Amino acid sequence: MEIFDSDFREIFSSQVVSIIGGLIAGTILAIYTDQILLIPGMLILLPGFLEMRGNISGSSAARLTSGLFLGIIKPNKFRTKVIKGNMLASFALAIAVSLVLGIIIFLFNFFALHAFTLKIILLPLIAGIIANAIEIPMAIFVTFYLFRKGHDPNNIMGPFVTSTGDIVSIVALLISMVII
Amino acid sequence: MRAVRKHLEKLRKIERRRYHPLIHKIHKKHKISKKTLFYVKEYGPHSNVPRTIIKESIKILLLASLISSLGGLALEHIKLIFLSIMPLIILLPTLNDMAGDYGTIFSSKFSTMLYEGKIEKIWKKDMKLRKLFAQIFLIAMITTVFSLVISMLVSYLSGYSIAIDIVFKLLFVVIIDIALLVSILFLISLFAGLHFYRKKEDPNNFLIPITTSVADFGNIIILTLLILMIF
């Protein structure tokens, strides 16, 4: 049983990329612990908020990659119905999920801590809009770029979206806090 | 060409409830791949692309967010201990990513193995399965220790003093967390994959959502329990 084969190397390298992004995001989180994590309910919000980016942008990249491989989407044409539809749907989904996450932490604060913090709903909502305004176009652009360069975006976009998504999400949360 | 277009238009108008026999018919008659036909049906010229995507994704996305929030609730319960250990804060996004990634790798690799007929009837003796588990387990251990070292280094450079007993406690917590998760995810992929495959359903459609949800939720629950026990 040979363990150190090409599969091992591929999985290992993609994991290294993924954990580097996670560690950068974690470091930002640790530096701004006072600002981010001391807000009541933030630890409830955080796992879902970080996961959302991978779920939405990752699926969007996978859908576009399928279209590119099937020849239905042309690698040089950006302004097509499918791409615009994907972007619009991804934004709408991100707003819906952010709103639900905001409502969850509002309800937690209201019932568990007896604090009426309506403003807290805006926190993931604004952060979700900022993060997705960066992450969705970037994911689409990188998918097309990789395809044009002859790579299979399916092999690269997973770790790319999770690692960049974590960093973008934490920074967006910080910006959102400053705005609110 | 006209006949093909006519058939594709007909295909596009069918409600997406189940796999329609027309896909098979057009595939046989015009030699168009089933994947292309499916893509045309979902995102063809007259379809409402955003509506289709939102309709199909919203439920699973909201469910995934709710499950993650439940995990977050457990973490909120141990907030004070958690926030006092800087390397754990740094590790949180990494551990979450890792757990989800291993769930996806197990699911997709095992589904492919099933389709290729590579799994022996007595799966306990299957060498390919043993190899897959050994590879993922080893990678998980190496990346976990690597992440912990980096997180402690960053903490130390930021002025956080790390006592030797904290180092061993942290090492124990993250190693047990990831080792348990990898084993649970492997068993879920195995049993659920075999179950759906025997029911003549595509394991890909079920395994990835199941394993990633279990990974995200399980990671935070196991981590919370271990922190409560050790610190």
Nearest-angstrom CA–CA distance, B109 and B155: 36
- The CATH code of the domain that includes B153 is 1.10.357
Which pLDDT belongs to residue A65? 86
| A107/chain B closest Cα distance in angstroms | 12
Of the candidates B48, B72, B90, the beta carbon closest to that of A27 is on B90
Instruction: For residue A70, tell me if it sits in a domain.
Output: yes
Question: Is A125 domain-assigned?
Answer: yes
> How many whole angstroms separate alpha carbon A62 and alpha carbon A64?
5
CB distance B227 to B173 below 8 Å: yes
For residues B39 and B81, state if they share a domain. Answer: no
Question: Do B98 and B204 fall into the same domain?
Answer: yes
Indicate whether B38 and B89 sit together in one domain.
no
Total domains in chain B come to 2
Q: Which residues of A touch B39 (CB under 8 A)?
A: 66-67, 70, 72
Give pLDDT, residue B135: 92
Give domain status of residue A27, yes or no. Answer: yes
pLDDT of residue B35: 63
Instruction: Give the CATH number for residue A132.
Output: 1.10.357.20
- B51-63 per-position pLDDT tens digit: 888 887 888 888 8
CA distance A15 to A159: 7
Q: What is the pTM of this model?
A: 0.82
Contact B61 A85 (CB under 8 A): no
Q: How confident is the model at residue B4 (pLDDT cuts 50, 70, 90)?
A: low
Residue A46 has pLDDT above 80, yes or no: yes
At B11, is the pLDDT very low, low, confident or very high (cuts 50, 70, 90)?
low
| Residues in B touching A46 (Cβ below 8 Å) | 72, 75, 92
Q: Domain for residue A47, yes or no?
A: yes
Could you tell me if B123 and B217 lie in one domain? yes
Kindly report which listed range (A22-26, A65-69, B124-128) carries the lowest average pLDDT score: B124-128
**What's the one-letter identity of residue A76?**
N
Q: What is the ipTM of this complex?
A: 0.87
Statement: residue B17 has pLDDT above 60: no
pLDDT digits (tens, 9 = 90+) for B94-152: 998 888 888 888 888 888 888 777 776 667 778 888 898 999 999 999 999 999 999 99
Domain-located, residue A1: no
How far away is chain A from the Cα of B7, in angstroms, using its nearest Cα? Answer: 17
Residue B51 falls inside a structural domain:
no
Measured between beta carbons, the chain B residues lying within 8 angstroms of A101 are 65, 69
The parent domain of residue B9 ranges over 2-43
A23 to B90: CB separation less than 8 angstroms, yes or no: yes
Q: Closest residue of B to A56, CA-based?
A: B61
- Quick check: is A152 in a domain? yes
Per the domain annotation, does A161 fall within a domain? yes
Structural domain contains residue A16: yes
How would DSSP label each residue in chain A? ---SSHHHHHHHHHHHHHHHHHHHHHHHHHHTHHHHTTSTTHHHHHHHHHHHHHHHHHHHHHHHHHHHHHTSS-TT--S-HHHHHHHHHHHHHHHHHHHHHHHHHHHHHHHHS----GGGGHHHHHHHHHHHHHHHHHHHHHHHHHHHTT--HHHHHHHHHHHHHHHHHHHHHHHHHHH-
Averaged pLDDT for residues B203-220: 81
Provide the domain limits for residue A88: 6-179
Residue B174 lies in a domain: yes
For residues B17 and B108, membership in a common domain is answered with no
Using the predicted structure, report yes or no on whether residue A33 has a pLDDT greater than 60.
yes
Q: What pLDDT is attached to residue B63?
A: 87
Report the pLDDT averaged over residues A39-54.
86
Contact B91 A59 (CB under 8 A): no
Residue B54 is assigned to a structural domain of this protein: no
Taking contacts as CB-CB distances below 8 angstroms, the residues of chain A near B101 are 14-15, 18, 158-159, 162
Do the domain assignments include residue B59? Answer: no
Residue B39 to residue A62: CA distance in whole angstroms: 12
CA distance B86 to B215: 23
Q: What is the pLDDT of residue B87?
A: 94
- A111-139 pLDDT tens trace: 988 888 888 899 999 999 999 999 999 99
B182 and B87 housed in the same domain:
yes
A85-89, B128-132, B196-200: range with lowest mean pLDDT:
B196-200
Number of folded domains that form chain A: 1
So what's the pLDDT on residue B15? 59
Q: Is residue B30 domain-shared with residue B101, that is, in the same domain?
A: no
Q: What is the separation of C-alpha A28 from the centre of its chain, rounded to a whole number of angstroms? A: 16
> What pLDDT is stored for residue A4 in this prediction?
87
Chain B CB contacts of A159 below 8 Å: 101
Asked if B48's CB is within 8 angstroms of A85's CB, the reply is yes
Burial class (CB in 10 A: 0-12, 13-18, 19+), B225: middle
CA distance A93 to chain B (A): 7
Q: Are B207 and B184 in contact (CB under 8 A)?
A: no
List, as ranges, residues 14-53 from B with C-beta within 8 Å of A: 33, 35-36, 39-40, 43, 45, 48-53
Q: Which of B44-48, B57-61, B134-138, B166-170 comes out lowest in average pLDDT?
A: B44-48
Taking the C-alpha atoms of residue B25 and residue B35, their distance in angstroms, rounded to an integer, is: 14
Is the CB of residue A159 less than 8 Å from the CB of residue A12?
no
> What is the pLDDT averaged over residues A11-40?
88
